[in-house]
Amino acid sequence: MSLEITPEDFYKNATAKQERVFCFHAIMTTSTGIWLADNPLLFSLPLLLFQIVVVFIFTRISHSILRRLSIPIVISQIIAGILLGPSCMGRIKPIERILFSPRSWEQLNTISLLSFMLFLFLIGLKTDLSMIPKAGRKAFAIAICTSFFPFAIIVLTGFLLKSSIPLRFKQRFLITNLASSWSMTSYTVVSCVLADLNLLTSKLGRLAMSATLITEFTNLFITAVIGSYLLGSKGDSALMGVTSMAAFLGFMAFLVFVARPLTILAIRKTTPEGGMLDEACFVGVILLAFVCGFVSELIGYHATMGPFMLGLMLPGGAPLGVTMVEKLERLVVGGGGMDGFVLLFDDWGFGEVCRWGGAVLLLQDADEGLSCHWVDDD
């Protein structure tokens, strides 16, 4: 049975806060096919598969042209998102209504987020934390100059211009979020760029990696402290903020003193020396990464924080790191990994920049995307 969706079927304004509520007719997962007069693109699974194929084709075509200019695949993903967005193909109403309709957002975003969780887990797994104790004064100085000073300048500017900022953005801690995003140099981005330039093992590469790791950890803990303070000041008592900080520290302690030792113990008992990771351990580690993502969402952080921190804590050599990279990297990078970056820019039209705050939010989206979604390409 075909399901025809019109704008009146799913959109209305609701509540005093003017929140948007999307309501849809019940959507089945699979169709009975075109022979029984069904449109497969009105059903969840065929539409999801079609979206993944379209995104993959547009990205690969863009990259096949741009790679000759030594342009990384992340730029191809941005261009694919713009081409599929409201500035280009989105202007064609049938394509906009079918390909990226609001009823398909959640399922495609979920698949993309799961892929990025595993991708960041692999990035953390390939990271050598011993670089931090070995970092010299230059690494600490670079970390301070590239994180603390920009954060302070952005917060000070926001304070001076607070009378010009709409109330709804003040209530959502816009300035704090922007300062946190813009003052952070993403370790994921730096590591992938250095790998692409074959500079990971150079003196400059080690210095950059050390400084970025210091910035990453410092930013994480500062964000946790500020978030807990704001949460406590917003609530009825300071207990909420204290509980939030305790949950964050407890999660970090769990990764260091429980997850890491148990994983190493399980690998030693089930994996022969010099062999690949046992299948049960492989599945168990992936499950643990998803559990960490769930816990990080539970305590108020992004779902990608948990898997990334877990990857940092686990040993990245053989057999764990080798097995995980060999079995997962191509899947999460070439499969669902590129969808998220394309979707990041698929939502934006060039006309958005002309609106109040549109340029700021676009830059924030781009910054978060580059921080989380940069992928390497062989």
Domain ranges of the chain: 130-234
Task: Tell me the pLDDT band of 351, cut-offs 50, 70 and 90.
Answer: low
Q: Residue 7: is its pLDDT beyond 50? A: no
Task: Tell me the pLDDT band of 342, cut-offs 50, 70 and 90.
Answer: low
Question: What SS3 class is residue 72?
Answer: coil
Of 169, 287, 296, residue with least CA distance to 220: 296
- What is the model's pTM? 0.76
Q: Residue 336: what pLDDT?
A: 53
Q: What is the mean pLDDT of residues 187-200?
A: 76
**DSSP element (H, E) containing 340:** helix 337-346
Residue type at 337?
A: G
Percent of the chain with pLDDT over 70: 76
Sign of CA dihedral 200, 204, 210, 213: negative
Using only the alpha carbons of the chain, give its radius of gyration. Answer: 23
Q: Residue 38: is its pLDDT beyond 70? A: yes
Q: Residue 19: is its pLDDT beyond 80? A: no
Neighbours of 286 (CB within 10 A): 17
Distance between CA atoms of residues 281 and 258, nearest Å: 16
Between 122 and 67, the higher pLDDT residue: 122
Which residues have a Cβ under 8 Å from the Cβ of 87 and sit 6 or more positions away? 348, 349, 350, 351
**DSSP element (H, E) containing 256:** none
Q: Residue 21: what pLDDT?
A: 66
Between 356 and 79, the higher pLDDT residue: 79
Task: Tell me the pLDDT band of 349, cut-offs 50, 70 and 90.
Answer: low
Of 241, 221, 219, residue with least CA distance to 231: 241
